[in-house]
Structure 1
Amino acid sequence: MSRSIDTRTRREIVDVVIVGAGFAGLSAADRLVSTGASVMVLEGRDRVGGRSYTGEVAGVKVDLGATWVSPRHTAIRDLASRVGCTTTSQFATGRNVQWLAGKRREYKGTIPPVSPAGVVDMARIQMALEKLVGAIDVEAAWESPDAAKLDSISFGEWLDKKRALPSTRALMTLISKVQWGASPGDVSLLHALRYIRAVGDLNHMLDVENGQQQDRIVETTQEIARRLAQTLGDRVVLNTPVRRIVQDGQGVIVHAGSATIQARHAIVTVAPAHRADIQFEPALSETAEGLTKTWRMGALSKALVAYKTPFWRAEGLSGEAVTDTGTVFITFDVSPQNGPGILMAFCDPRVFDGFSPELRRARVLDQLAGLYGDRAKEPIDYVDHCWGTDTFAPGGPNPAAPPYASTTYARALTEPHGRVEWAGTETAGEWAGCMNGAVLTGQRAAERVAQRIRKESEK
């Protein structure tokens, strides 16, 4: 079982100290333990899982954070299988709902139907995006052809230059809010292209069947992390935020509250912006410091609403909806196989986070009623979570890097800082932004550290 560190001043010695008990940190620890290394994982929160977080509504465990896995997410799926977690298909049977430009319509397929001109325009913009995506170096987007030019404008400015129609702009805004927790104008074009390339293409990013939203974890995604942490036992220490890492040619000393941990190497898995919460001695390079200041986290909120039954299914609706106004902008049906009906709603933090729980609930129910009818105003339970105001390491789901931030600072994502290696989904090439990417980067960092330890032992 994971534990909290002794509040009395203490000093422990291990081969590797890992900062963060999300999928990257736990995967790194798991891999290092398999090599025989001694490891300690320090987590500032009172739980493991990072941006995977289990909540409960109407007695059903639900994902308040990371939710879906694709058939191509083999690393996280293998891990889930190993710890006994199972998948279930995302429900997508029936017609979807759109509320765009003040009109409600029902439709089939991934992309909401618009006017004939809108359909042509959406295809035109998608083709232009895919052409740019194809030239991106997924492992080092900032070294791609024309990287400086692509990083000099925002995704929104590019849409303006392409004269995207309002309907196309609305859909691209929805994508931007979900992926980066920000509007297109807040994200550099290069950054947007990197994330699209990292997941394969735009279709894979958006699709349910054979796409990123195909499957959910029955037990919730955080349960994977919990079970992995259990295998690591008391190597995982909770409620222990790391505030200072000092290193020299012999090793590192990590200061966490009143405790100090001496190690040969460290792996830091926090998001780039949260690296700024740790004092490094010697200090980070100017490039690495710039990364922490410019790669700010986006913000995204979720509400889950439970009903006696998934009543929308009887009306031939899938529970999937998109809207360009109000608090809610996307919904999904995440009802259990046998149990209540549950709608997951993604909410815009600008008109959600700063309000009382009662007002947040009222706004969500009002919008759901517009999408699914008055029965949506009669839930049996409700829960929400605002990642932008999270008490520890706020923000999500991914960084919203503005223009110039990638070509100037992104190489510091993975460049070691002496004996400190970096991991976390933001540092991934392929699958950046996904749980799958987090697992892969943890394993990669562990292998690098294990190799360094072997070389040191041979001297």
Structure 2
Amino acid sequence: MIVLEARDRVAGRNLGGHLKNGVAVEMGGQWIAEGHTEVLGLVGELGLETFASYDDGVPITLFRGQVTRATDLSQLGLTPTAAPEVDRMAGLLAELAETVSLSAPWLTEEAATLDATTFAEWVRSNTTEPEAVAYWQALVRGVFAAEPAELSLLHFLFYVKSNTSLEVLISTTGGAQEQRVVGGTHQISERLAEGLGDVVRLGRRVTRIVQTDTGVHVHADGAEVTARRVIVTVPPALAGRIDYEPALPAQRDALTQQMPMGSVIKTQIAYPKPFWREAGLNGLASNFDDGGLSVTLDNSPHDGSCGVIVGFFEGAEARAVADLTPEQRKDLAIESLVTFFGPEAADPIDYVEQDWMAEEFTRGCYGGRLGAGAWTSFGPALAAPVGRIHWAGAESAEVWNGYMEGAVRSGQRAAAEVLGGLSS
């Protein structure tokens, strides 16, 4: 077995960083849910530790320039008019999500109608309440790093069911943001790579894959590998940039053109202490307006040595600020935090950021998405092998799609396919 990695490091969309004070911060994927059994198994096997994400206190929302402190954790501070509308719509979405086939979303009952409808269209057809509309826009930005018009209703429903429920997706305690790894999740990949030794070859960007009757020839920068099977783990949008001989089937090639990555810039803003906790806040702020950070969470280290807020520029806002300098983005991020948490947020001790759109071998996060009509037109090609080529990665997972857990499970599925092919 040979692992070819384009970067000069392993871990892909997981990336470790440090503040000036030496505190480790996660610049990429970081959260683990209780249901992420495969990842938790790796954490234990590799001698890593997890700790609970901070979730004491209440969240806040920003809507039409007004900051509201939640009194009901389930409502995020929504007004009495918007709250029942959001609840009603969430119920409708939950019912629809239950109808989706995880193994073949394109075969879902009413798949053609669900897939032809953008999520933005569904929202507009189900409510005219302004804050409810803003809530769903903020939620899509937070989950997909995209805008509601950029994904189909079927894709939204598939993602919700794949990740258990909408409540799990957006929750900390009991949800997808429940746990963190001491020192960062990138250590999972790093320790696995250490165990594999020379099998892992860095700085080897794959440029061409040639299939023959007897095997595959993989051409990379500074390397050429011949094998019986190959597993491609990069997101579909990047997999489509590899040259294949013979050419990929039309449906698979078209899929790679229909699954762009999300738009996100992740920021970590540090303070001497987590001052928001003293005010009874848990660090979660949801921006229902346009401009500034879309969402923030408490990302302080497990030892409490300082306070850290993680904030995200997402979707259209991420694309809008991508051409600014890091210093200009820092100013915008701090401005958002002052709006959310008050004047004490004006003087951070450090700011670090990661623009995932600019990453050559990622080109966005959190994952790929399918727009209107794409699931029913090209979905069958997402995970189906092409001869001796197999596909893995978080985008190809049926369960926990888009998360580290989904990536691990997709790898297990692809490995089983390869072993089955070798024994036949």
CA distance in 2, matches of 1:177, 1:53: 21
Gaps of 5+ in 1: 1-38
How far 1:447 moved relative to its partner?
1.5
- Summarize the alignment of residues 139-158 of structure 1 with structure 2, pairs less than 5 Å apart: 139-158=103-122
How far 1:164 moved relative to its partner?
4.5
CA distance in 1, matches of 2:421, 2:167: 40
Matched, 1:41 2:3: yes
Match of 1:150, SS state, is helix
- Summarize the alignment of residues 387-426 of structure 1 with structure 2, pairs less than 5 Å apart: 387-426=356-395
Give a deviation string over 1:220-260, Cα, whole Å, max 9, x none: 11111111111111101111100000011100000002421
* Partner of residue 18 from structure 2, selected from 56, 61, 67: 56
Q: Aligned letter for 2:88? A: R
Residue correspondences, number? 417
CA distance in 1, matches of 2:67, 2:127: 25
CA distance in 2, matches of 1:317, 1:194: 32
CA distance in 1, matches of 2:77, 2:341: 18
Contact 1:44–1:241 (CA under 8 A) maintained in structure 2:
yes
Q: Aligned letter for 1:281? A: E
- Summarize the alignment of residues 288-303 of structure 1 with structure 2, pairs less than 5 Å apart: 288-303=252-267
RMSD of equivalent CA atoms: 1.2
Q: Aligned letter for 2:311? A: A
In the TM superposition, structure 1's runs of 4+ consecutive aligned residues that sit over 2 Å from their partners are: none
Give a deviation string over 1:352-387, Cα, whole Å, max 9, x none: 221001101011011101111111111111100111
Give a deviation string over 1:75-101, Cα, whole Å, max 9, x none: 111011111111111101112221112
Partner of 1:33: none
Q: TM-score, normalization: structure 2?
A: 0.96
CA distance in 1, matches of 2:98, 2:200: 41
How far 1:208 moved relative to its partner?
1.2
How far 1:324 moved relative to its partner?
2.2
The 10-residue stretch of structure 1 (227-236 or 51-60) with the greater mean CA deviation from structure 2: 51-60
Partner of 1:346: 312
Contact 1:139–1:430 (CA under 8 A) maintained in structure 2:
no
Matched, 1:79 2:79: no
CA distance in 2, matches of 1:105, 1:178: 19
* Partner of residue 276 from structure 1, selected from 240, 256, 261: 240
- Summarize the alignment of residues 315-354 of structure 1 with structure 2, pairs less than 5 Å apart: 315-325=279-289, 326-336=291-301, 337-348=303-314, 349-354=318-323
- Summarize the alignment of residues 194-213 of structure 1 with structure 2, pairs less than 5 Å apart: 194-213=158-177
The 10-residue stretch of structure 1 (167-176 or 83-92) with the greater mean CA deviation from structure 2: 167-176
Partner of 1:190: 154
CA distance in 1, matches of 2:321, 2:230: 38
Contact 1:388–1:394 (CA under 8 A) maintained in structure 2:
yes
CA distance in 1, matches of 2:384, 2:399: 17
Match of 1:204, SS state, is helix
CA distance in 1, matches of 2:281, 2:410: 39
Contact 1:110–1:207 (CA under 8 A) maintained in structure 2:
no
Higher relative contact order, chain-length normalized (CA < 8 Å, sep 6+):
1
CA distance in 2, matches of 1:332, 1:180: 16
Q: Aligned letter for 2:185? A: T
Contact 1:181–1:400 (CA under 8 A) maintained in structure 2:
no
Q: TM-score, normalization: structure 1?
A: 0.89
CA distance in 2, matches of 1:222, 1:140: 31
Partner of 2:411: 442
Gaps of 5+ in 2: none
